[in-house]
Structure 1
Amino acid sequence: MKLKTVLSEKGGKVITLDSTTSLWVAAGILDENRIGAAVAVRPDGDLCGVLSERDIVRRIAQHGSDALALSVDEAMTREVVTATPDTSLDDALSQMTDRRIRHLPVVDQGKLVGIVSIGDLVKRKISATELEAEAMKQYIAAG
């Protein structure tokens, strides 16, 4: 299975944050959308980072409540690992596990087309494994 299949099932909606947005506002957006991370973009729309709940918590631990006045740009993870729609589910899971990340933006020809979480991928992997197991049971039963 490829990420384009996951995105077609999940949808390509991506919550983005302007890199100049305050962490206070960003935290509200994450909460409102019930998500753990959002892609940070520059005013021109180019991807420049990912802001996760973990990034916000780290800044609060370092700066106290004053951290909420910091911008997304000051707290986000800048070294963004991305994938393409043709990346396989297994390759994406491996990449996320190796780099200890939970969210993977999907980029096609330089444009952000979606984002997948580790939860999205594990859910699809479990479904595929269950289908495979059921097919094996039917094959064995048909003898």
Structure 2
Amino acid sequence: MTVKAILDSKGHDVLTLGPNEKLSVAIRILAENRVGALVITNEDRKIVGILSERDIVRVIDREGAGALDRSVRTAMTPKVNICNENHTVNELMEIMTAGRFRHLPVEKDGMLYGIISIGDVVKRRIQDAEREAEEIKAYIATA
């Protein structure tokens, strides 16, 4: 199973924010949409960073509540691991596990194309396992 198949199923919508927006705005968007990360993009949808809940916790721990008035740029992770639509679910699991993160932006032609969360990966692996079990049961029943 590939990233393309996951995005074809779930869609390509991604919550984004500009790097100069305030952290307080980012927190509101995360809370309202019940998501754990925002992809930070410039005007032409090129990825310039990612902002996760963990990033926000770290900056508030360092700087206190005053950090909420600072720009997203000060808290985001600027070096973003990305994937493309040809990556497999197993490759995604390896990348996410090695990097210890839960969100992986998808890039196509240098632009943001979608996002894959650990929830998407787990859901797909469960579907694959259930399908395999059904195929094995059908095979045994016909043997």
TM-score class, shorter-chain normalisation, is over 0.9
Matches of 1:108 and 1:45 in 2, distance apart?
A: 11
The aligned runs of 1:59-70 (5 Å cut-off) are 59-70=59-70
The aligned runs of 1:29-108 (5 Å cut-off) are 29-108=29-108
Matches of 1:24 and 1:17 in 2, distance apart?
A: 12
Q: TM-score under structure 1 normalisation?
A: 0.97
- 1:7, CA displacement in angstroms? 0.5
Amino acid in structure 1 at the alignment position of 2:58: R
Matches of 2:37 and 2:29 in 1, distance apart?
A: 10
Q: Give the number of equivalent residue pairs.
A: 143
1:2-29 deviation line (CA, Å, top 9, x unaligned): 1010011111001001100111010001
Q: TM-score under structure 2 normalisation?
A: 0.97
- 1:44, CA displacement in angstroms? 4.2
Matches of 1:135 and 1:44 in 2, distance apart?
A: 45
| Alignment partner, residue 114 of structure 1 | 114
The percentage of aligned residue pairs carrying the same residue is 47
SS of match in other structure, 2:64: helix
1:72-107 deviation line (CA, Å, top 9, x unaligned): 100001110000011111111111111111100000
Matches of 2:71 and 2:122 in 1, distance apart?
A: 32
Superposed CA RMSD in Å reads 0.9
**Which structure 2 residue ranges, 5 or more long, are not aligned?**
none
After superposition, the Cα gap between the structure-2 partners of 1:142 and 1:44, relative to the gap in structure 1 and judged at 3 Å, is closer
Q: 4+ residue stretches of structure 1 with deviation over 4 A?
A: none
**Which structure 1 residue ranges, 5 or more long, are not aligned?**
none
- 1:42, CA displacement in angstroms? 2.2
Give the conservation status (yes or no) of the 8 Å contact 1:19–1:43. Answer: no
Alignment of 1:137 onto 2:128? no
| Alignment partner, residue 127 of structure 1 | 127
